[in-house]
C-alpha cells in the first residue's frame, strides 16, 4: 500500500472577496497501514487537510502524494466517511452499499454485488437490515451502513471526518470498537486517517496522533499502545493518563495564549 505524503501544503478559502489562510506550509507523512487521528480545536484546518487528501480540493501551494502519484482529484484508492451519513434516502441499506461498490467495479456481476454488500452489512452488525431505508435506521445504524459501503469499495485508504460526532455516547463507543475490530480482522491492511475533537477517542483508536493548531501541525505523537488494546485496561494505564494530560494541555495552551494576548493572566 502507498504512503500519504503531504509536502509543504498551503490552502486558503475565499469568502465575501476576502481570503483566509487555512493551512500554512504543512508537511506530514503517513505510513501505509497506520491508523492516524488528527485532533485540534475547531477551525484549525483538520477537515481542510483531509479533504485535500481525498482530492475534493487542491492546495494553493505544495502537493499531496499517494505513493508516487500526485493527488489531483478523488481516486478509487481512497474512500471518505463523513460525520453526516451521506446515504441515499431512496435506496435501501443494501442498495446504498452496492452503489458504492459499482463506482469502483462497474462491471461486477449482480450476484457478486449482492454477496459483497450483504457480507459487509453483516460485518458491521446489520444482518436483517438489508432492506431498510435510511429513515428506518438510527443514526448509529446509518453510520454503520456508511462504513460498510466504504469498506466494500475496497480502498487502500479510509478517510474519516468526525464520523462518530453525531451519535450518542453509547453508540459512539460501539462504533469505535467496531472500527478497531474491522481494522484488525480484515484481510486487507488499510491506512486510516480519522478526524476528531475527542481526546479519548483519538487515544483509543490511534497508532499516532497529529495535534493541529490553526494552520499548522503542533505535535506528532506515537501512542505506542499496540493493536490488541482493551478499553478498560488501556484507559486505566499510567501511559494513557499521561498522554491524555499532555493532549488536554495542548488544547488549553492555545486558550492561555489567547488570554495572554488580551493582557489577562491564567
Q: How far apart are CA 67 and CA 3, in angstroms?
A: 5
Q: Is the pLDDT of residue 34 over 60?
A: yes
pLDDT higher for 71 or 184? 71
User: Domain spans of the chain?
Assistant: 4-77+155-261
Cell of 208: 499516532
pLDDT higher for 166 or 110? 110
CATH fold group of domain 4-77+155-261: Rossmann fold (3.40.50)
pLDDT given for residue 226 in this prediction: 83
The packing angle between helices 110-123 and 93-104, to 10°, is 120
Q: What is the mean pLDDT of the chain?
A: 89
Q: Is the pLDDT of residue 262 over 60?
A: no
Q: pTM for the complete prediction?
A: 0.88
Cell of 28: 506530514
* pLDDT band of 16, cuts 50, 70, 90: confident
pLDDT given for residue 264 in this prediction: 46
Identify the weakest region by mean pLDDT among 33-37, 40-44, 157-161, 243-247.
Answer: 40-44
- For every residue of 170-226, DSSP letters joined together read HHHHHHHHHHHHHHHHSSS--EEEEE-S-HHHHHHH-SEEEEEETBEEEEEEE----
pLDDT given for residue 184 in this prediction: 80
* pLDDT band of 258, cuts 50, 70, 90: low
Mean of the pLDDT values across residues 151-177?
89
Q: Is the pLDDT of residue 265 over 50?
A: no
Residue identified by cell 506530514 is 28
**pLDDT (tens digit, 9 = 90+) per residue, 53-109?**
999 999 999 999 998 899 999 888 999 988 776 899 999 999 999 999 999 999 999
Cell of 245: 494530560
Mean of the pLDDT values across residues 187-205?
91
Amino acid at each position: 500500500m502507498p504512503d500519504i505524503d503531504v509536502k509543504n501544503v498551503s490552502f486558503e478559502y475565499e469568502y465575501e472577496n476576502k481570503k483566509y489562510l487555512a493551512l500554512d506550509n504543512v508537511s506530514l507523512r503517513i505510513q501505509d497501514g497506520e491508523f492516524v487521528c488528527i485532533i485540534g480545536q475547531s477551525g484549525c484546518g483538520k477537515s481542510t487537510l483531509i479533504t485535500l487528501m481525498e482530492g475534493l480540493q487542491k492546495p494553493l501551494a505544495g502537493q499531496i502524494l499517494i505513493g508516487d502519484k500526485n493527488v489531483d482529484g478523488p481516486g478509487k484508492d481512497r474512500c471518505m466517511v463523513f460525520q453526516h451519513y451521506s446515504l441515499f434516502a431512496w435506496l435501501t441499506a443494501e442498495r446504498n452499499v452496492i452503489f458504492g461498490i459499482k463506482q469502483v467495479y462497474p462491471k461486477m456481476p449482480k450476484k457478486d454485488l449482492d454477496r459483497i454488500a450483504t457480507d459487509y452489512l453483516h460485518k458491521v452488525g446489520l444482518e436483517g437490515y438489508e432492506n431498510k431505508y435510511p429513515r428506518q435506521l438510527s443514526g448509529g445504524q446509518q453510520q454503520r451502513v456508511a462504513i460498510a459501503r466504504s469498506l466494500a469499495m475496497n480502498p487502500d485508504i479510509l478517510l474519516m471526518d468526525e464520523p462518530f460526532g453525531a451519535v450518542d455516547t453509547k453508540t459512539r463507543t460501539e462504533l469505535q470498537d467496531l472500527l478497531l475490530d474491522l481494522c484488525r480482522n480484515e484481510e486487507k491492511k488499510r491506512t486510516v486517517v480519522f478526524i476528531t475533537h475527542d481526546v479519548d477517542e483519538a487515544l483509543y483508536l490511534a497508532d499516532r496522533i497529529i495535534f493541529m493548531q490553526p494552520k499548522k501541525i503542533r505535535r506528532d505523537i506515537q501512542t505506542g499502545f499496540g493493536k490488541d488494546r482493551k478499553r478498560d485496561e488501556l484507559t486505566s494505564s499510567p501511559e494513557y493518563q499521561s498522554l491524555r494530560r499532555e493532549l488536554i494541555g495542548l488544547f488549553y495552551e492555545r486558550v492561555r495564549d489567547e488570554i495572554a494576548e488580551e493582557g489577562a493572566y491564567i
